Amino acid sequence: MRHSMIDSYIWEKEFKLMLDQEHFEKVWDIVESSLDDFITLYFDSSKNPISVLKPKDNLNLYIRKLIDEHCTEQDRYIEIFDPELMDDYEEDVDGFKGEILSKRCPVIRVTLNSKAAVLKDWKIAYKLASPQKLYDTFYNIISFAEEYNDDMTEEEFNEIDTIEGNRLSELTEDACYLTGVIGTGILSNVLNNLYPRIFPNMFKIGMFALYILSEKKAIEMGSDSSEFLMVKDDIPSKTGIIEAEHNYYYPYETFALYTLRIYRVLDKEIQVRYKLKFPDEYRFVLINDFYKYIVESQRKDIQTLLGNDDIYKFRIPI
Amino acid sequence: MDKYEVLEKYFKKDNIVSFRGKQEEAIDAVLAGEKVLCLMPTGEGKSLIYQVSGLCIGQAVIVISPLIALMKQQYNDLVKKGLRCLFLSELDYRNQFKELNSIAKGSLPDFIFISPERAANDGHLEFVLNLIRDKIGLVVVDEAHCISQWGEDFRPAYKTIPDFINRVFGSNSWPHILCLTATLNNDDRRQIESDFGITKTIISPNLWRTNLNLTLINLGSIKDDSKDDILQRIFEKHKGEKILVFVHRKHGSKGTTRTLYRKFSEMYTGIDFFDADISDSEKNRILQGFKDGSIKIVFATSAFGMGVDIPDIRVVVHYLISESVEQYYQEVGRAGRDGKPAYGYLLYTKQSRNGRKRLIESSLCNEEILRAEYANRIPRRGSELGSIKYEELTEERRTAFALLIEYKVINVVAKGVQSTQCYKESGNEGKQFLKEIKEVTATQLTKVVCKRRGTPINSLISNIWRLCSKGELSLASSPGKAIFYTINKELYDDIVEEIINDQQVKREKRMEAFMKFVTAIENDESAETIVKTALNIT
């Protein structure tokens, strides 16, 4: 997408396409065809294997490591977003914003402390955001997540194969976003940390990974730019080149379906090659790692897109 | 030690062997127990008055000052003399905590430098100073003109300094008081005298700096762009000398600190710009460079602060007309503090007059900001207690907040921390305290604790400070400071009207003073006449 086309007819058309199943399948065909090579490289890449162990055991160790790392971070989110505590926070929404979110919620804390120039507007919006609205938004997020997790059996989850089918569009209906402040980046980070079984993390790395997997093509996009990117064609950059970011407006429900299908391919591959089953409870932890691998393998290209001189852009979590 | 012994011991190395002008009279007045307001031009040694007075009294001195750069300078000078000083703004939160606890246990520095905002909002500092109030001998309010809402330099927190002193010492037990400033008109003076109960006002007869050669250049209706040619001619005339150019605007397409810096750095080396948006480390670098002479020309806003001690600035240029004669004289007074001839040029155009008028018209608080701030302050969902992180407020919101307090719409009940999560136990009492907090609510938010227990927030906060001072609690992480308040009354239309009318009166007064300045320039009066008339200098 192109930033200069925000609110234009082309923009609206492109946005509709991102939610369209037919268009999704066209893009998926290309993504799927790219997957094999990346999966092979992912499994063959060094994961600090211990030479005396068999590949299966090494992979098992690696999976354990991924899950342990996730759990350490997960604990921090569980501690603060316990549904019972959400009722307590209602009595001090200023404290919720100032202490709980700003200082103890990892994704918000790290983003607030980041020196990346691209986050300047977000930081201002966050500082000005009403504590009550922030509380209400997070209350809605946590309530939604708890209910979704309770209702979504593995059986039902395994049946999901359409954008509508994952019901993540309900996040919008349930007021789980706060414009300019709590977008899909933060939202998905929190959800993925709390419930990695059912919620993928739409962090920027995931978007860049899909950009790479879709062969960096503009598929049916009137602006002739990838739907996974936001080309900042009307914003002057320090480097003088037109920079791009991930498309932070991308619908979460569509991203989730790509991620789920990629997971299924990856999971099947692990079972075939290694006779291992990645724990369903942490399924999207695997994809987080896979996405990171894909982007890391093309780091230079991505950094050029981002504008090389701002090295902090690459490291921020949302 | 008497004042001569102090001079001998601490100031002889700086070649200060005797007092100048009104210094001795001011010191004597302070030591005699008068509450003193001292007006002395820049460069005449106001700092020496409080330093000698403080050392004579032999107890700790609190110096309240508006600018970090200024405090840093004075702090460094005193430390070089072997005196124990504390400059809280320079320390990280752990060291601040450590120093405050040290003070609570009786280990006092000779001089404690704090900003007016810290005095107004740091509950831990206030608690600790109150504990050892009998060991504080003198409170100094530097650049006291900032208290005046009549002027551009107004800082809302300055207005609360008398309340701070009351809370620390009690309303009938103030220590020695010394207010210092270089420029003050009669209205400002009356306000300070009233707010601080001043019993002796000492005015230097040398308010007119004879070493300053001031030129007002009336360029009439020419566009501001043409000022650059004049500026260049001034640079050429004073090549190699230190030149400070007051621009008063940071951002815009022209005529700002940054645009002028970019333009002239193509022609000259040793040139820089200084405004509120640059980092503290950048500010220090530029000040140091200007001091040592590696930087010769600086484009600055009024952030190039009051009292910065660079004695050999030879030229001050006002690219944009100042808001008032006081501000003009204050700023041009940065030049020639070494007593040698120095020059001031004010480049006046009608265009810049209009620009300055717009700034005045949009200054102070308007109804929209006031009502918005009040709406933001209403505690949520039926709670009586609100909280705010003062450092997150913009300047205009701070002004609005201060007005809501001044007009008793809002009542500040405690200055503390939002959560006890930042503390860890260091003793049994601390351990018990934190255990009980967690049992009330796992969130450890102080407001929630108080609501659940039904106890006042100030009592919980005081207990936290007490336990910190006793060493029962230490810091695990950075404390999230907050001001807790209640709403006393609704912001009715009549209160809004009263506040806005008051603001309007002040705005008009500032506009009146500015237009008098402008008229005098347009009538080609000399700078000397204008300054002497406005500041009652004979």
Residue B110 · residue B55 · CB < 8 Å: yes
Average pLDDT over residues B456-466: 95
Residues 6+ apart with CB under 8 A from A264: none
Closest-CA distance of chain A to residue B498, Å: 28
pLDDT band at B186 (very low <50, low <70, confident <90, very high): confident
Give the per-residue pLDDT at A46. 61
The reported pLDDT for the residue numbered A172 is: 84
The pLDDT-based confidence of B491 (bands split at 50, 70, 90) is: very high
Residues in chain A: 318
| CA neighbours closer than 13 Å in the CB half-sphere of residue B262 | 9
Q: How far apart are CA B484 and CA B397, in angstroms?
A: 16
User: Average pLDDT of chain A?
Assistant: 89
At residue A256, the pLDDT reads 96
A93-102, A295-304, B39-48, B299-308: least confidently modelled range: B299-308
pLDDT of residue B220: 85
Cβ contact B419–A82 (<8 Å): no
Is the pLDDT at A86 greater than 70? The verdict is yes
Best of A99, A102, A113, A135 to disrupt the B interface (most B CBs within 10 Å) is A99
B390 neighbourhood in chain A, CB within 8 Å: none
Q: Are A186 and A107 in contact (CB under 8 A)?
A: yes
DSSP reduced 3-state for B9: helix
Of A90, A98, A127, the CB nearest to B381: A90
Neighboring chain A residues of B447 at a CB cutoff of 8 Å: 91-92, 94-95
pLDDT at B153: 59
Least confident of B177-181, B262-266, B342-346: B262-266
Q: What number is the average pLDDT over the span B67-91?
A: 88
Task: Please give the pLDDT value at position A235.
Answer: 78
Verify whether the Cβ–Cβ distance A85 to B447 is below 8 Å.
no
Chain A contact for B399 (CB, 8 A cutoff)? no
Nearest to A91 among B386, B388, B451 (CB): B451
Q: What is the pLDDT of residue A239?
A: 66
Residues pairing with B348 in the sheet: B218
Per-residue burial over B517-527, b = 16 or more CB atoms within 10 Å of its CB, e = otherwise: bbebbeeeeeb
**Contact between A88 and B445 using a beta-carbon 8 Å cutoff:** yes
B chain contacts of residue A85, beta-carbon cutoff 8 Å? 442-443
Asked if A96 reaches chain B (Cβ–Cβ under 8 Å), the answer is yes
Is the Cβ–Cβ distance between B248 and B254 less than 8 Å? no
Q: Average pLDDT of B127-151?
A: 87
pLDDT of residue A85: 92
d(CA B405, CA A91): 23
Question: B212-360+507-534 maps to which CATH number?
Answer: 3.40.50.300
Binned at pLDDT 50, 70 and 90, residue B151 comes out as low
Count of CB atoms situated within 10 Å of the CB of B103? 22
Q: Please report how many Cα atoms fall inside a 13 Å half-sphere around the Cα of residue A173, on the Cβ side.
A: 6
Domain boundaries of chain B, sorted by first residue: 3-203, 212-360+507-534, 367-494
**C-beta atoms of B419 and A99 within 8 A:** yes
pLDDT of B502 above 80: yes
**Chain B contact present for A75, CB below 8 A:** no
A-B contacts (CB, under 8 Å): 68
A289-299: average pLDDT = 92
DSSP string of B249-279, one letter each residue: --SSSSSSHHHHHHHHTTT-SSEEEE-TTS-
How far CA B1 is from CA of A27, A86, B9, B22, B58, in Å, comes to: 86, 61, 10, 20, 8
Instruction: Give the mutation candidate from B377, B394, B437, B445 for the A interface (greatest A CB count, under 10 A).
Output: B445
Half-sphere exposure of A145 (CA within 13 A, CB side): 26
Lowest mean pLDDT among A285-289, B41-45, B418-422: B41-45
Asked whether the predicted pLDDT for residue B363 surpasses 80, the reply is: no
pLDDT at B447 over 60: yes
Average pLDDT, chain B: 89
pLDDT at A49: 63
Q: What are phi and psi of B253, to 5 degrees?
A: -85, -20
What is the pLDDT at residue B306?
60
**Whether pLDDT at A197 is above 70:** yes
Residue A315 has pLDDT above 70, yes or no: no
Beta carbons of A169 and A253 less than 8 angstroms apart: yes
**Angle (deg, nearest 10), helices A120-128 and A106-113:** 120
Cα separation, B149 vs B502, in Å, equals 10
**Interchain contact, A95 vs B482, CB within 8 Å:** yes
> Percent of chain B having pLDDT more than 90?
57
Nearest to A94 among B387, B441, B451 (CB): B387
The pLDDT of residue B360 is 84
Task: For residue A94, list chain B residues with Cβ-Cβ distance below 8 A.
Answer: 380, 386-389, 418, 447, 482
**Confidence class for position B73, pLDDT limits 50, 70, 90:** confident
Describe the strand order of the beta sheet including B342-348 as a list of residue ranges: B212-218, B342-348, B313-318, B242-246, B297-300, B271-274
pLDDT on residue B14: 86
Provide mean pLDDT across the span B436-456: 94
- Identify the band that residue B152 occupies on the pLDDT scale cut at 50, 70 and 90: low
Section B317-335 average pLDDT: 88
Q: Which of A80, A85, A94, A100 has the highest number of chain B CBs within 10 A, making it the mutation to test binding with B?
A: A94
Q: How confident is the model at residue B154 (pLDDT cuts 50, 70, 90)?
A: low
State how far the Cα of A207 lies from the Cα of B363, in Å rounded to an integer. Answer: 46
- For A290, the domain range is 3-315
- Residue B113 to residue B122: CA distance in whole angstroms: 13
B82's tokens = 């072997």
The correct answer on CATH 3.40.50.300 for the domain covering B3-203 is yes
B304 against B216, higher pLDDT: B216
Distance (Å) from the alpha carbon of B397 to chain A's nearest alpha carbon: 12
**What's residue A304's pLDDT?**
81
pLDDT of residue B253: 76
Q: What mean pLDDT is predicted for residues B263-271? A: 91
Residue B448 is nearest to which of A91, A127, A132, comparing CB atoms? Answer: A91
pLDDT of the residue at B429 = 96
Whether the predicted pLDDT of B225 surpasses 80: no
Question: Quick one: pLDDT at residue B393?
Answer: 78
Contact criterion met (CB below 8 Å) for B350 and B221: yes
Check pLDDT > 80 for residue B244. Answer: yes
Which pLDDT score is estimated for B314?
96
pLDDT on residue A15:
92
How far apart CA B19 and CA A280 sit, in angstroms, is 82
Question: What's the rounded Cα separation, in Å, for the pair B33 and A250?
Answer: 70
Would you list the DSSP string of chain A? -BGGGTTSHHHHHHHHHHT-HHHHHHHHHHHHHHHHHHHHHHHHS-----TTS-HHHHHHHHHHHHHHHHHHHHHHHHHH--HHHHHHHTT-HHHIIIIIIIII-HHHHHHHH---GGGHHHHHHHHHS-HHHHHHHHHHHHHHHHHHHHH--HHHHHH--STGGG-TTHHHHTT--BTTTB-HHHHHHHHHHH-TTT-----HHHHHHHHHHTTT---S-TTSS-TTEEE-TTS--TTSSPPEEE-TTS-HHHHHHHHHHHHHHHHHHHHHHH-----GGGHHHHHHHHHHHHHHHTHHHHHHHH-TT-GGGGG---
**Beta carbons of B482 and A132 less than 8 Å apart:** no
Q: Tell me the pLDDT band of A318, cut-offs 50, 70 and 90.
A: low
Least confident of A185-189, A202-206, B380-384, B461-465: B380-384
Q: Could you tell me how many residues make up chain B?
A: 538
Rounded to two decimals, the ipTM of the complex is 0.80
**Model confidence at B534, in pLDDT bands (50, 70, 90)?**
confident
**Number of folded domains that form chain A:** 1
Query: What's the mean pLDDT in B107-131?
Result: 94
**Is B93 in CB contact (< 8 Å) with chain A?**
no
Element containing residue B469 per DSSP (H, E): helix B457-469
Highest mean pLDDT among A2-16, B104-118, B179-193: B104-118
pLDDT of residue B149: 54
Q: Does B54 touch chain A (CB under 8 A)?
A: no
Measured in angstroms, the CA of B419 and the nearest CA of chain A are apart by 7
pLDDT at B439: 95
Contact B445 A131 (CB under 8 A): no
- Counting Cα atoms < 13 Å in the Cβ hemisphere of A197 gives 17
- Nearest Cα of chain A lies from the Cα of B278 at a distance, in angstroms, of 15
Does A309 score more than 60 pLDDT?
no
Please say if the pLDDT value at position A314 is more than 60. Answer: no
Instruction: Specify the pLDDT at position A56.
Output: 82
